[in-house]
């Protein structure tokens, strides 16, 4: 039984909520009465409520994010209906702004905005002492980082064995990109590096090998970044995997030297390009040296073993489809292992909304608040880009089409793949739930009938990709003698197409 339950709905089981663990670590004398309960998208709200109430809580704190706000709202509504005596506190980025518009905020007893590390435990003490604040909306306190207890001892052995271990060496961001909530930060704040590395050492000693840094600007301070890289270099083994988000135009030589020492399959870098268009960058307050970013991406691919995931955002104010296409082709030519095409979202509280009138931006009123149209990209074109992004995930980012993708994207990558995307949607009417064998058949047909490739060329590329993917079926549409033989039940399968294994292909 727990007096206080900290809970959230994660996108997937492997995502362990770092925010809940921060709260738990800072509960002080209430830690023994506090329990973490995590759920996953797709679970029935009634089942989640039943599980929460089985713990006998007096207070339930919900972490609310863009990906779970709709489901969490349903859970809170049910919880307050069947157990009105339980105090519900909601916090997190999704409920820290525009609270008056949100049903979940109306349902909750208290809304805690901003940083909750210190403010949430204080609120719980007041509630349990019968001093519950009269105000519904309470502003979180941002203490010096040295006053915040680190959360890493809250990861269980099961977490370490089966889930991503999220860590952060710093909070905040000094940059002001208007689509990002971090644009509201005044600067970036670093945790004491000695204490942080000591905590990582304990995690490593317990068996943790998969570390995902959530820092917005890992490489902002080269000296700190170098110490962290050296920490992992001293502990290299075949299981180690570390993910960082990096500033694309800031990669000093000392960091390059350390990065070059990591073997394949160990480092993953998320590189946010977002747009190459200088006018668009200026419009959204994004400072980026494009030439240097290009140089750094080229260096990462040519002189390191790091897996490079790069982001572009479609629908930014001032950018039309032709500009986005040029940016995509420019990024593709730099050969990142993955290109994620995202659609611009108007996250609550971000300054991007100031462009709504001037650029005729039409936003989805429901999560994820994606832009539906602008003065440069109409609704139909935005739908096409969204389908392009989904099919790019299935083909390019899945890791299953290493030989076939260059055929689909030869010459003018965006134009060619958009042509495939339009063609595929016209024939299927869907972007999800497509079996690999069926997808291969569509790719083959498009390459041969629409792009004029020789049957043997298309068949050879697809057959080899299919066999290496570890799939067990049969490509019945292939010309005689070209289809890979179906694998028996006892056959050894290739690596699953997940990011970790895809390091090994490039």
**Rg from Cα positions in the chain:** 24
Indicate whether 424 and 351 sit together in one domain: no
Contacts of 282 (CB under 8 A, 6+ apart): none
pLDDT at residue number 487: 55
Indicate whether 327 and 451 sit together in one domain: no
Cα–Cα distance for residue pair 206/194, rounded to 1 Å: 19
The angle, 0 to 180 degrees and rounded to 10, between the axes of the packed helices 436-445 and 379-395 is 110
Q: Is residue 158 part of a domain?
A: no
Element at 290 (helix H, strand E): helix 290-303
Give CA 491 to chain center in angstroms.
34
Indicate whether 346 and 433 sit together in one domain: no
- Mean pLDDT throughout 147-154? 98
Cα–Cα nearest to 50, from 81, 17, 12, 21: 81
- Mean pLDDT throughout 295-303? 97
Q: Is residue 247 part of a domain?
A: yes
Query: If pLDDT is split at 50, 70 and 90, which confidence band does 498 have?
Result: very low
What would the two tokens of residue 29 be?
A: 């004398």
Cα–Cα distance for residue pair 74/92, rounded to 1 Å: 17
pLDDT in tens, 2-44: 999 999 999 999 999 999 999 999 999 999 999 999 999 999 9
Domain that holds residue 285: 164-357
Indicate whether 246 and 344 sit together in one domain: yes
Indicate whether 270 and 403 sit together in one domain: no
| pLDDT score of 184 more than 90 | no
Is residue 241 within 8 A of residue 305, CB to CB? The reply is no
pLDDT in tens, 333-372: 999 999 999 999 999 999 999 999 999 999 999 999 999 9
- Mean pLDDT throughout 304-314? 98
pLDDT in tens, 168-179: 999 998 889 999
Q: CATH number of the domain that 274 lies in?
A: 3.80.30.20
Is residue 346 within 8 A of residue 66, CB to CB? The reply is no
Is residue 434 within 8 A of residue 428, CB to CB? The reply is yes
Number of domains in the chain: 3
Q: CATH number of the domain that 63 lies in?
A: 3.40.50.280
Query: Domain boundary residue among 324, 357, 390?
Result: 357
| pLDDT score of 496 more than 50 | no
| pLDDT score of 417 more than 50 | yes
Cα–Cα nearest to 296, from 339, 334, 242, 337: 334
Indicate whether 207 and 277 sit together in one domain: yes
Tell me the pLDDT of the chain averaged across its residues.
Answer: 94
Indicate whether 179 and 72 sit together in one domain: no
**Among 186-200, 254-268, 488-502, where is mean pLDDT lowest?**
488-502
| pLDDT score of 1 more than 90 | no
pLDDT at residue number 493: 38
pLDDT at residue number 2: 94
Q: Is residue 175 part of a domain?
A: yes
pLDDT at residue number 218: 86
Is residue 437 within 8 A of residue 474, CB to CB? The reply is yes
Cα–Cα nearest to 208, from 235, 170, 169, 246: 235
Indicate whether 347 and 463 sit together in one domain: no
| pLDDT score of 497 more than 70 | no
pLDDT at residue number 505: 41
Indicate whether 181 and 326 sit together in one domain: yes
Q: Is residue 154 part of a domain?
A: no
Query: Domain boundary residue among 357, 391, 417?
Result: 357
pLDDT in tens, 234-253: 999 999 999 999 999 999 99
Q: Is residue 406 part of a domain?
A: yes
Return the bridge partners of 358, or none.
none
Q: Is residue 17 part of a domain?
A: yes
CB atoms within 10 A of CB 359: 20
| pLDDT score of 494 more than 60 | no
Q: 249 by DSSP, 3-state: which?
A: coil
- Token pair 């050969």 is at which residue? 335
Indicate whether 331 and 422 sit together in one domain: no
pLDDT in tens, 202-211: 999 999 999 9
Query: Domain boundary residue among 145, 173, 199?
Result: 145
- Mean pLDDT throughout 151-159? 98
- Mean pLDDT throughout 206-222? 93
| pLDDT score of 504 more than 80 | no
Indicate whether 181 and 309 sit together in one domain: yes
b/e code 153-164 from CB counts within 10 Å (16+ = b): ebbeeebbeebb
- Mean pLDDT throughout 425-451? 95
Cα–Cα nearest to 8, from 37, 35, 32: 37
Indicate whether 293 and 187 sit together in one domain: yes
| pLDDT score of 101 more than 80 | yes
| pLDDT score of 159 more than 90 | yes
Q: Please report, rounded to a whole number, the percentage of residues in the chain having pLDDT higher than 70.
A: 95
DSSP symbol at 164: B
pLDDT at residue number 274: 97
Could you write out the three-class secondary structure of 194-244? HHHHHHHHHHHHCCCCEEEECCCCCCCCHHHHHHHHHHHHCCCCCCCEEEE
Q: Is residue 365 part of a domain?
A: no
Give CA 202 to chain center in angstroms.
26
Is residue 89 within 8 A of residue 60, CB to CB? The reply is yes
Q: Is residue 364 part of a domain?
A: no
β-strand pairing of 338-343 with 307-314: parallel
pLDDT at residue number 43: 98
Backbone angles phi, psi at 267, to 5 degrees: -105, 140
């Amino acid at each position: 039984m727990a007096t206080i339950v900290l809970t959230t709905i994660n996108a997937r089981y492997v995502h362990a909520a770092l925010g809940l663990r921060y709260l738990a670590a800072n509960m002080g004398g209430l830690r023994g009465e506090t329990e973490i309960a995590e759920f996953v998208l797709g679970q029935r709200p009634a089942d989640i409520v039943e599980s929460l109430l089985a713990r006998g809580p007096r207070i339930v704190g919900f972490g609310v994010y863009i990906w779970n706000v709709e489901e969490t709202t349903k859970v809170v509504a049910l919880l307050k209906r069947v157990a009105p005596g339980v105090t519900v506190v909601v916090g997190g980025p999704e409920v820290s702004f525009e609270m008056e518009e949100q049903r979940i905020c109306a349902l909750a007893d208290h809304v805690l905005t901003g940083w909750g590390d210190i403010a949430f435990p204080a609120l719980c003490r007041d509630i349990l002492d019968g001093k519950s604040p009269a105000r519904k909306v309470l502003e979180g306190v941002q203490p010096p980082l040295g006053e915040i207890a680190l959360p890493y001892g809250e990861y269980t052995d099961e977490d370490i064995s089966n889930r991503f271990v999220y860590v952060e060496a710093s909070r905040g961001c000094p940059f002001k990109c208007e689509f990002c909530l971090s644009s509201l930060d005044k600067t970036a704040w670093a945790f004491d590096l000695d204490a942080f590395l000591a905590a990582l050492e304990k995690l490593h000693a317990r068996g943790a090998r998969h570390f995902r840094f959530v820092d917005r600007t890992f490489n902002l301070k080269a000296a700190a970044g170098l110490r962290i890289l050296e920490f992992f270099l001293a502990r290299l083994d075949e299981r180690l995997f570390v993910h960082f988000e990096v500033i694309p135009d800031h990669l000093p030589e000392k960091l390059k030297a350390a990065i070059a020492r990591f073997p394949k399959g160990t480092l993953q870098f998320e590189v946010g390009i977002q747009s190459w268009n200088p006018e668009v960058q200026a419009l959204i307050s994004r400072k980026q040296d494009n030439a240097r970013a290009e140089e750094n991406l080229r260096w990462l691919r040519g002189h390191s073993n790091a897996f490079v995931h790069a982001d572009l955002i479609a629908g930014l104010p001032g950018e039309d489809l032709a500009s986005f296409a040029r940016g995509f082709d420019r990024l593709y030519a730099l050969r990142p292992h993955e290109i994620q095409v995202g659609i611009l979202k108007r996250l609550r509280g971000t300054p991007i909304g100031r462009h709504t009138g001037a650029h005729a931006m039409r936003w989805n009123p429901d999560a994820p608040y994606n832009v539906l149209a602008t003065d440069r990209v109409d609704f139909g074109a935005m739908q096409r880009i969204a389908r392009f992004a989904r099919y790019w995930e299935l083909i390019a980012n899945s890791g299953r089409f290493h030989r076939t993708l260059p055929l689909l994207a030869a010459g003018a990558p965006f134009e060619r793949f958009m042509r495939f995307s339009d063609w595929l949607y016209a024939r299927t009417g869907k972007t999800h739930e497509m079996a690999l064998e069926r997808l291969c058949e569509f790719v083959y047909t498009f390459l041969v009938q629409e792009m004029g490739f020789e049957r043997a060329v298309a068949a050879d590329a697809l057959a080899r990709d299919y066999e290496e993917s570890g799939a067990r079926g049969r490509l019945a549409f292939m010309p005689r003698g070209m289809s890979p033989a179906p694998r028996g039940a006892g056959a050894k399968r290739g690596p699953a197409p997940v990011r970790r294994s895809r390091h090994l292909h490039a």
